[in-house]
């Protein structure tokens, strides 16, 4: 099978293989994550909530499923290197060399930005939301926060901030690969900012604090990515100009070789097509071919010039028949 060109069935089979390996990695990491989940929830409560805050659960299996959600998130984070490797093995064969180099360089930046997004959400945004919500209680209204809403808020904020912090990487990849021009990104800046705040409203709880906490940093990261894309766009233009020069030099070299080949053909002498005359073959006495002493019936031929002439066979007597040799004796 030709591995350079695969059908859609081969691509789907390859995708299924990579997804199975990624799922297996998550399942393997889920076992230790189940033991780490209770401690992770306690650590989040002590770090993000005011001192003395206690959470409740009102359904029998609510705490178990919350711990399972946290364990699944931890398993995905632990299996992220394997998932990234499988994704790279699926995508890399369809990329050019410079595209692979760009993605490899930005993959580390993407991981750092995701960690920064999650850390920003847990260290700054989530504690501010908890202090604000718990501070609204009065003597007649006491806050009672259940563990389900607490875990859901943590997961939504963490994943939302981690995903939105990937916007600079997406912008840099699109500009570096030439999919979108830098001038186009600058012209559509108002639309991009609007989309950023719409996504911030979808990915965060329905409150202004969390939406602004996600929208404003993402907007600043988008502006910073435009500054970084200026250098990437210059490199892309230089690479395209160098490729055009190489292609032009290759065409000039081929044209020069073609001209040289035509000149050699013109300098070669034309073949002499005059008819060559050969002397007539010598006449042979056919009377000797009937002599039985030679033991040859006169059917021999030999090439002479361009014609075929019958020749006399002077073969010695060893070709005589047995009766003729007996008579000679």
pLDDT of residue 302: 43
Question: What's the whole-model pTM score?
Answer: 0.62
Task: Taking residues 84-92, report their average pLDDT.
Answer: 83
User: Band of the pLDDT at 10, cuts 50, 70, 90?
Assistant: confident
Sorted by where each begins, the domain ranges of the chain are: 7-94, 97-135+144-251
Task: Count H helices and E strands in the chain, helices first.
Answer: 11, 2
User: Band of the pLDDT at 7, cuts 50, 70, 90?
Assistant: confident
Angle CA 21–76–213, to nearest 5: 145
Give tens-digit pLDDT for 245-277.
Answer: 888 888 888 888 888 888 877 776 655 555 556
Which residues, listed in sequence order, are joined to residue 302 by a DSSP beta bridge?
309
Asked if residue 92 has pLDDT above 60, the reply is yes
- Lowest-pLDDT range, 27-31, 141-145, 187-191, 231-235? 231-235
HSE-CB for 246 with a 13 A CA cutoff: 6
Residue of 25, 193, 28, 173 lying closest to 91 (CA atoms): 173
- Lowest-pLDDT range, 38-42, 48-52, 151-155, 156-160? 48-52
Question: How many angstroms separate the Cα of 37 from the Cα of each of 63, 158, 159, 300?
Answer: 11, 16, 17, 106
């Amino acid at each position: 099978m030709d591995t350079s060109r695969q059908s859609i069935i081969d691509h789907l089979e390859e995708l299924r293989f990579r997804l199975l390996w990624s799922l297996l990695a998550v399942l393997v990491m889920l076992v230790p994550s189940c033991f780490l989940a209770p401690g992770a929830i306690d650590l989040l409560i002590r770090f993000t909530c005011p001192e003395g805050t206690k959470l409740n659960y009102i359904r029998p299996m609510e705490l178990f499923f919350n711990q399972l959600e946290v364990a699944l998130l931890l398993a995905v984070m632990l299996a992220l290197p394997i998932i990234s490797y499988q994704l790279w093995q699926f995508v890399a064969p369809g990329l050019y060399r410079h595209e692979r180099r760009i993605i490899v360089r930005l993959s580390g930046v993407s991981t750092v930005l995701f960690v920064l997004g999650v850390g920003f959400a847990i260290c700054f945004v989530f504690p501010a939301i908890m202090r604000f919500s718990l501070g609204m209680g009065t003597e007649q209204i006491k806050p009672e926060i259940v563990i389900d809403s607490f875990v859901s808020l943590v997961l939504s904020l963490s994943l939302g901030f981690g995903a939105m912090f990937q916007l600079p990487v997406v912008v840099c990849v699109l500009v570096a690969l030439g999919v979108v021009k830098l001038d186009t990104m600058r012209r559509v800046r108002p639309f991009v900012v609007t989309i950023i705040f719409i996504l911030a409203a979808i990915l965060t709880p329905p409150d202004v604090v969390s939406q602004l906490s996600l929208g404003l940093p993402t907007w600043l990261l988008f502006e910073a990515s435009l500054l970084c894309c200026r250098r990437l766009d210059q490199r892309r233009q230089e690479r395209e100009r160098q490729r055009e020069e190489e292609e032009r030099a290759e065409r000039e070299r081929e044209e020069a070789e073609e001209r040289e080949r035509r000149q050699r053909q013109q300098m070669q002498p034309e073949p002499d097509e005059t008819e060559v005359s050969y002397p007539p073959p010598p006449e042979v006495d056919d009377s000797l071919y009937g002599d039985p002493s030679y033991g040859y019936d006169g059917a021999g031929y030999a090439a002479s010039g361009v014609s075929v002439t019958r020749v006399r066979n002077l073969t010695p007597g060893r070709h005589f028949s047995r009766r003729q040799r007996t008579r000679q004796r």
